[in-house]
A and B are shown apart, each in its own frame.
Chain A
């Protein structure tokens, strides 16, 4: 059974044409993988579909812009996957 990270890394590799073996849990989607905001919409669409969730991108962006969060908290892949797992858990408990 593939992990959340495996699925997310596969999505990023396929969506952005990035070699899969260069994507690690420590990769920062923006700083390391050079994914721009438009490409990230495609990734968010694929993640939403794959996991049956809705990534709260607007909320995250607002928090970052307001200085309440760093991009690392949402865009380092291990952290992104932790957020995804939280959203899945919240959906399943609802």
Chain B
């Protein structure tokens, strides 16, 4: 996790492609410029970054069901609840599940836990647009592999080439 770069996820660790469900893991850094300001002497993960963590977990999932031809753009956050505090060094487990695959949009539920403690949850809406360039698409596919994103699982389930 590199908060100042909005790199919120460390790796994907579990997937059920046919159920449109995935789980990522991440660890809050011990130090970050974000923590220097939020708050001086009391580093605490901003709640909006927890929403971003869920949005990224679910966003990779949404792109995967399009065979990485569609770029998910966060369009709505509903029922967002921040239930627990995240301090430096805490390990997070984030689940994402697509609850609706619409035409040009998708709805997903995100949920973060640390151990058995509920940290945050939200319902997220994405518009799905074409990737703006093949280069950017390739960048994201490469990044997905670096995050151990299970591309093959989705290719098998959805018959993608």
Binding site for B on A (CB under 8 A): 38, 41-42, 44-45, 48-49, 54-59, 61
Contacts and interface: CB of A to CB of B under 8 A. Distances in A.
A55 B76 contact: no
Interface in B92-119: 100-105, 107
Contacts of A42: 76, 125
Nearest to B78: A42
Nearest to A54: B103
> For this complex, into which size category does the number of interface residues on chain B fall?
10 to 19
Contacts of A48: 100, 102
A55 B103 contact: yes
19 contacts: A38-B75, A38-B76, A41-B75, A41-B76, A41-B102, A41-B105, A42-B76, A42-B125, A44-B105, A45-B105, A45-B107, A48-B100, A48-B102, A54-B102, A54-B103, A55-B102, A57-B102, A57-B104, A61-B104
Contacts of A59: 103
B105 A49 contact: no
A42 B102 CA distance: 10
The secondary-structure label for the interface of chain A is helix
A57 B100 contact: no
B127 interface: yes
Nearest to A37: B127
B20 to A, nearest CB: 15
A56 B76 CA distance: 20
A44 B125 contact: no
B100 to A, nearest CB: 6
B109 to A, nearest CB: 13
Contacts of B75: 38, 41
A46 to B, nearest CB: 10
A58 B103 contact: yes
Nearest to A46: B100
- Which residue, of B76, B100, B101, B105, has the highest number of chain A Cβ atoms within 10 A? B105
A6 to B, nearest CB: 22
Nearest to B104: A58
B127 A45 contact: no
